[in-house]
Structure 1
């Protein structure tokens, strides 16, 4: 019996136990209620980043908005990802583990409170404080692992803890640098953060669970796509409150729904965990989801921008507003193809489908006020074509693979 199931049967977390690694082949490994709660709280920060991106793009400050969004979203995504892989290997579900995880949740809420300042005034102090709270809490988890293990496993845990602490010192220095230098310093520190797992696991790889990881990433993708639908709905409602513009808003709403539905369908069309079990691409797959998550959230922001432009509340052209939707949509499709979909495609037509669809969606930008609907129709046609090609090849459809791919 696993520690998680044992504590669940007793009605709560068990007593403090040594932090032993969970098995890679553990049966029926699924996301826990604490992990789901963790995800929902992180989406609060995603929502704030998307909201500020909308304001920046609508006010014709797209360059500044996209840069700030990329920086803030990295902090959100990296903290989420580090916890996810740690929990996949070391979720003991005892009282200290739960309390430290709740501290990480408090950290992301602090970060969310500082997002507006980061965008508007380039004041990253609150974002930094929230990020450090999350990261130092994770250091505490790794030190528990080090205290409970020996040999190579202990070395890995100490490398993680030491690497995270060093990176936090670097982020502190970022706060005092001139504004024009910060993006370059951010890039260096982001690369340093991403190097920590690569260095730490040289002595021994952690025992993350492929099925569990695939499910966790899939669930977060669903939550972010849900946030995208919410953002678009709020945008349409707000527009209707001040303007009788139903005729121009319906095509945007329909196109947006088609895009989100297609994004969900395409992401879950293949059994992701099979690739994680068989290949050595876990790091690339995990890191590449920065683009998938950021683009999924940015689609919602883009739909809000498109709505504001349609009712003449923004200061940008129709083509620029269309690009706010088509660019992240195309990037989402292309990244999904690069990370895992291409490994399950057979034949030239299946391989070319997603890249070609991404290109056509980019061209939809030129359709102006009809761009979102056109992009949605292309996305829907992509799903229909993909299913047709799969069935003609005599392979199972989504009913046979969706459960596996979702974890």
Structure 2
């Protein structure tokens, strides 16, 4: 049961049974619309053979989605008071997410990022209010909280000013603001590390990974369902659906087979792990767009060649494998798995040139999962025999 008001003191980083709250789950769900909209627009851009503009727009929009989610996640891990002001401030952030999602079509179709910027700034200024509350109550980390509040505020002024730049400076201005956003936590945490909870943070990242993987399943299912409704049922379409399901399931398996809380031992490693998940989330969501493009190509309604249709799936899968390997597999140094992930990524890209790239990707991922499982059994057997 929530209380009316509670001082926003820091929670313990070693707190027992720290788990995601219902409010955090609701917050995550508000991002479903934004992720789905970005992935849908990526699908349409790729299907129309607008690869460059589509990929660029997707990466820019997804940064806004991911960064808004990330900042709340780490803050909540350290300062979740669950009182009325905290819940209402989170509600404002949810409203900002929905505004951002509403602006995704205009960003892709007209390169108009005004609505997205408004929603994003609403989310970020709500975080400023949260950090100011933390600064007033947590004397030990007051300097850190104030740095967050000041840094976020200054950067939001920059985002609004960026809207006034000419079109030829749009990408450069965006990248400058991205660097500024990424620098704020690094600068703030130097004044005193916040008490985020490793197990809690890893669980929150895992939940968002489930959301983006779920979007891939939903997108692919929707495309195949539309094809079936139009009377295009065929063995090729059904086998494509099965291969897509296998791909997403294998990605889930490979990500969650490597517990990561022990990797967040230092601030530097935590930053690398947390920031690196931009590519994990973005690639996982993009797989759904790639599978939709594969369906369109098989139905001869896509305007890009076979090679481009294959790359729409193989590239995000390969990126996912490489980043998961860098963030969670390589630090653990587990035998054959050290080379298996990058090798599988190379094979995934190579099968782009086969007649059925989606099916071939599924086979590669099944082989990788089998290798991981057999490696675990061999390790367990060696331990039990000693």
TM-score (norm 2): 0.97
* Runs of 4+ displaced beyond 6 Å: none
Which of 328, 341, 346 does residue 340 from structure 1 map onto? 328
Match of 2:17 in 1: 28
Which of 188, 192, 198 does residue 200 from structure 1 map onto? 188
Shift of 1:233: 0.0
Q: Deviations over 1:252-292 (max 9, x none)?
A: 21211111011000001122112224784000000000000
Contact 1:319–1:367 under 8 Å retained in 2 = no
Gaps (5+ residues) in structure 1? Answer: 1-11, 398-407
Shift of 1:147: 1.3
Residues 283-302 of structure 1: matches in 2 within 5 Å? 283-302=271-290
Shift of 1:396: 10
Residues 75-94 of structure 1: matches in 2 within 5 Å? 75-94=64-83
Contact 2:77–2:196 under 8 Å retained in 1 = yes
Match of 1:169 in 2: 157
Which of 160, 178, 184 does residue 148 from structure 2 map onto? 160
The reply on whether 1:363 has 2:355 as its aligned counterpart is: no
Shift of 1:251: 2.5
Which of 161, 184, 188 does residue 172 from structure 2 map onto? 184
The reply on whether 1:115 has 2:90 as its aligned counterpart is: no
Cα distance in 2 between the residues matched to 1:149 and 1:279: 20
Cα distance in 2 between the residues matched to 1:97 and 1:379: 43
Gaps (5+ residues) in structure 2? Answer: none
Match of 1:307 in 2: 295
Match of 2:56 in 1: 67
Cα distance in 2 between the residues matched to 1:113 and 1:163: 27
Residues 131-280 of structure 1: matches in 2 within 5 Å? 131-151=120-140, 153-277=141-265, 280=268
Shift of 1:189: 0.5
Contact 1:239–1:245 under 8 Å retained in 2 = yes
TM-score (norm 1): 0.92
Residues 32-51 of structure 1: matches in 2 within 5 Å? 32-51=21-40
Q: Deviations over 1:52-98 (max 9, x none)?
A: 00111111101000101111000000000000000000000000000
Contact 1:54–1:301 under 8 Å retained in 2 = yes
Shift of 1:350: 2.2
Pair 243,174 (structure 1): closer, same or farther in 2 beyond 3 Å? farther
Cα distance in 2 between the residues matched to 1:43 and 1:181: 31
Match of 2:340 in 1: 353
Cα distance in 2 between the residues matched to 1:141 and 1:296: 30
Shift of 1:216: 0.3
Cα distance in 2 between the residues matched to 1:346 and 1:94: 44
2:88 is paired with a residue of what secondary structure? helix
The reply on whether 1:126 has 2:115 as its aligned counterpart is: yes
Deviates more, 1:270-279 or 1:165-174: 270-279
Shift of 1:293: 0.2
Cα distance in 1 between the residues matched to 2:54 and 2:286: 11
Contact 1:245–1:311 under 8 Å retained in 2 = no
CA RMSD, Structure 1 to Structure 2 (Å): 1.4
2:12 is paired with a residue of what secondary structure? coil
Cα distance in 2 between the residues matched to 1:77 and 1:362: 26
